[in-house]
């Protein structure tokens, strides 16, 4: 009697000519379609580790909201110190991995490790400043949303606030010289919240994203203080300059400047290196590609200055 064996999928084993497929994939990897950074195998930063790190940093910044709700005045500093020490050690390793993909990655292992330690140490020193910005963001959400019943509700239930937390941490790493890692942190946030903020964007204090889903903020955008955005707002680029060979020029200013106290309502698309003057209101579903002066009210039907 013959008994057929299965692999758990309910399909009989088959022959796939694996030797030929594997060999062809090797040729693609090593020769014809090699996309490895500087053609070398390097250990990538871990999304799982970065998620753990951001959770740890969140707990350090707001221990009873993101850490342990039963902490006391006596135990809270011990919890913060222990969590911070563990989290910074993990962060250093991920920073080191990310630095391997920088333009100057031909550094010795010792130099890479030292640079990772320096970046992490500077990042740790900036955490009180980051917390101050985040507190201003949470307060802006509470003041700006009549549906908000408590600070705890905002910190635990508002995707815009969670996205801003991830952005603030990632932006500091970006500024300190770890852009790859920063980009991965913002991508994790994008997956969680539906909000896509590039870590290179510059955003002032008291920033509020209401509802959040679909918001996009480009790399070179500059936002002042007390800016409020609603869902599906895009602060994007209008065009992409190229060099003589037709390649995109990286890093050129191409996203909007949004000055202080601007409100941009749902579905608005603001493109190019234009300036939205302080105190302006941009209505829902507006498509805007030109600068507007301070205190403007822009709607689909008209543009006027008050």
Per the structure block, which two tokens stand in for 180? 């790859």
Rounded average pLDDT over 160-168: 98
Q: Which two tokens stand for residue 71?
A: 């902490």
Report the first-to-last Cα separation within the chain, whole angstroms: 90
Question: Model confidence at 109, in pLDDT bands (50, 70, 90)?
Answer: confident
Look at residue 105 and tell me whether its pLDDT is greater than 60.
Answer: no
Q: What is the pLDDT of residues 202-236, one digit of tens each?
A: 999 999 999 999 999 999 999 999 999 999 999 99
**Interval 120-142 mean pLDDT:** 98
List, for residues 270-292, the tens digit of each pLDDT value.
Answer: 999 999 999 999 999 999 999 99
Condensed to tens digits (0 to 9), the pLDDT of residues 10-33 reads 666 678 889 999 999 989 888 887
Q: Is 217 helix (H, G, I), strand (E, B) or coil?
A: strand
pTM listed for this prediction: 0.88
- The pLDDT, as a whole number, for residue 305 is 56
> Between 90 and 1, where is the model more confident?
90
Q: Is the pLDDT of residue 306 over 60?
A: no
User: Tokens at residue 158, please?
Assistant: 């508002």
Pairing of strands 216-217, 196-197: parallel
The reported pLDDT for the residue numbered 23 is 93
Average pLDDT across the chain, whole number: 92
* pLDDT at position 142 over 80: yes
pLDDT score of 1 more than 50: no
Task: Encode pLDDT of 233-271 as tens digits.
Answer: 999 999 888 888 888 888 899 999 999 999 999 999 999
Q: From edge to edge, which strands make up the β-sheet containing 216-217? A: 196-197, 216-217, 234-236, 269-271, 287-288
C-alpha–C-alpha distance, residues 187 and 196, integer Å: 7
Q: What's the pLDDT at 108?
A: 85
pLDDT of residue 43: 87
Say if residue 164's pLDDT is above 90.
Answer: yes
DSSP string, 11-43: -------HHHHHHHHHHIIIIIT--SGGG---P
Q: How many residues does the chain have?
A: 306
Could you write out the DSSP letters of every residue in 227-270? Answer: -EE-TT-EEE-S---B-TTSPBPTT---S-EE-TT-EE-TT-EE
| Conformational region of residue 214, where left means phi above 0, alpha means psi within -120 to 50, and beta covers everything else | left
Q: Is the pLDDT of residue 299 over 90?
A: yes
pLDDT at 39 over 60: no
Question: Rounded to whole angstroms, how far apart are CA atoms 281 and 293?
Answer: 11
Supply 8's token pair. 């758990």
- Could you tell me the domains of the chain? 44-194 (1.10.3130.10), 214-306 (2.160.10.10)
Find how far residue 56's CA is from the centre of its chain: 17
Percentage of the chain lying above the pLDDT 90 cut: 79
Q: What contacts 194, CB < 8 A, 6 or more positions away?
A: 159, 212, 213, 214, 215
């Amino acid at each position: 009697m013959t008994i057929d064996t299965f692999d758990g999928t309910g399909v009989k084993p088959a022959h796939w000519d694996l030797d030929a497929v594997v060999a062809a994939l090797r040729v693609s990897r090593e020769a014809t379609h090699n996309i490895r950074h500087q053609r070398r195998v390097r250990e990538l930063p871990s999304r799982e580790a970065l998620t753990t790190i951001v959770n740890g940093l969140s707990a350090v910044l707001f221990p009873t909201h993101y850490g342990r709700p039963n902490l006391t005045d006596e135990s809270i500093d011990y919890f913060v110190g222990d969590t911070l020490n563990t989290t910074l050690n993990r962060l250093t390793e991920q920073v080191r991995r990310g630095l391997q993909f920088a333009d100057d990655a031909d550094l010795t292992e010792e130099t890479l490790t030292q640079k990772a330690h320096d970046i992490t140490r500077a990042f740790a020193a900036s955490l009180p400043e980051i917390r101050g910005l985040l507190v201003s963001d949470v307060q802006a959400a509470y003041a700006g949303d009549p549906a908000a019943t408590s600070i705890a509700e905002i910190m635990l239930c508002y995707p815009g606030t969670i996205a801003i937390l991830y952005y603030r941490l990632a932006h500091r790493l970006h500024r300190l010289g770890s852009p790859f890692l920063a980009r991965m942190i913002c991508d994790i946030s994008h997956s969680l919240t539906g909000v896509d903020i590039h870590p290179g964007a510059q955003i002032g204090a008291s920033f509020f994203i209401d509802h959040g889903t679909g918001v996009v903020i480009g790399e070179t955008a500059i936002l002042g203080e007390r800016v409020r955005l609603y869902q599906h707002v895009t602060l994007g680029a209008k065009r992409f300059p190229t060099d003589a060979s037709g390649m995109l020029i990286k890093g050129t200013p191409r996203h909007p400047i949004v000055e202080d106290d601007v409100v941009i309502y749902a579905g608005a698309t603001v493109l190019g290196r234009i300036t939205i003057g302080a105190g302006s209101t941009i209505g829902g579903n507006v498509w805007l590609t030109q600068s507007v002066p301070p205190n403007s009210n822009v709607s689909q039907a008209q543009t006027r200055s008050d």
